[in-house]
Structure 1
Amino acid sequence: MCGFGEREVALVRSSWDRLMQNIPHYSIRFFTSIVEIAPVSKDMFSFLRDSDEIPLNSPQLEAHAVKVFKMTYESAIQLQEKGEVVIEDSTLKHLGFVHVKKGVLEPHFEVLKGALLNIIKEAMREKWSEDMNNAWSTSFDELATAIKREMTFSVEGVEFLLQPEI
């Protein structure tokens, strides 16, 4: 991807390091932000569905948040090194399938992106910048594009699997 270089990766890396210093807190804040932006999204996450509040000590919640943060962070590095986001085929197929199964649509990706940017901004405080916002946004957008591409293939695969046997 043109324009994604060492500077952008450095911005993502510095904010990643700050985020990881207090990942339990930022994981809870991430899902709180998602639910604040789109309250109906709560039911899409099994670890939130049966709770009136965001659980404070949920290993599932933290693991899911870390996965989103880490994949976006790794996407930044790949954009600089390879010019594209490359996800292991089996992982990408799994992500596509799970997102289709959960009913994830285009607006859901935007909610996740908004929550991600909110949390990075919160973690970085005075060091937050428009350039940092753009670096994380680009990384997330490229990751989301890869997942959405696989969702299209998963939809076709699921439709095929759901056809009645003859």
Structure 2
Amino acid sequence: MAFTEKQEALMKDSWEILKQNIPENSLRFFTIILEIAPAAKAMFSFLRDSDEIPQNNAKLKSHATKVFKMTCESALQLREKREVTVSDTTLKYLGSVHVKNGVIDLHFEVVKEALLRTIKEAVGENWSEEMGCAWGEAYDQLAAAIKAEMKQEPPHQIS
């Protein structure tokens, strides 16, 4: 099924709402990830050494912003190109970081659930199932591109 103009519009509109409060939405995003999978904290260098999610953690905000933005950009690509393309350099980096941190398929599902819940809370009454499906499809395509690159990475050697 092709990504529709309406799906793209729903994502663009919700992204505009999300961008208005990136610090709060980033914090909420990571809070939900850790509610679902507390052990995931060890996978994020900027969270590993703290007892709670810091309110003013610039790296947390930056990371969450990148996830939101890449997912939104994926939607635009799905509409224009019918596939998600990430620059080779970025994809290689994402693949290696995810392999190094031991990311598995289940982790992508946790992030997807947290992403959708965060967006739903942020957009409030503007939320619709169609909006959730659009974000979910864009995220799934981005995750598939990262997973494909992860398979190209040599296994991480523990020394």
With structure 1 as the length reference, what TM-score do the two structures score?
Answer: 0.92
**Structure 1 regions of 5+ residues with no counterpart?**
none
Larger relative helix fraction: 1
Larger CA Rg, structure 1 vs 2: 1
1:131 maps to 2:123 = no
Tell me how far 1:158 sits from its aligned partner: 4.2
Cα distance between partner residues in 2 of 1:158 and 1:115? 28
Matched residue of 2:139: which SS? helix
Q: Deviations over 1:41-60 (max 9, x none)?
A: 01100111111111000110
Identity %: 59
Cα distance between partner residues in 2 of 1:96 and 1:118? 25
Matched residue of 1:25: which SS? helix
- What root-mean-square deviation, in Å, do the aligned CA atoms of Structure 1 and Structure 2 show? 1.0
With structure 2 as the length reference, what TM-score do the two structures score?
Answer: 0.96
Q: Matched residue pairs, number?
A: 157
Q: Which contiguous aligned blocks of 4+ residues in structure 1 show a shift greater than 3 angstroms? A: none
Q: Deviations over 1:105-144 (max 9, x none)?
A: 0000000000000110001111110000000000000000
Cα distance between partner residues in 1 of 2:87 and 2:145? 11
Contact 2:29 2:118 in 1 (8 A): yes
Q: Deviations over 1:146-166 (max 9, x none)?
A: 000000001xx347xx6xxxx
Q: Deviations over 1:73-120 (max 9, x none)?
A: 000000000000000011101100100000000000000000000110
**Structure 2 regions of 5+ residues with no counterpart?**
none
1:13 maps to 2:5 = no
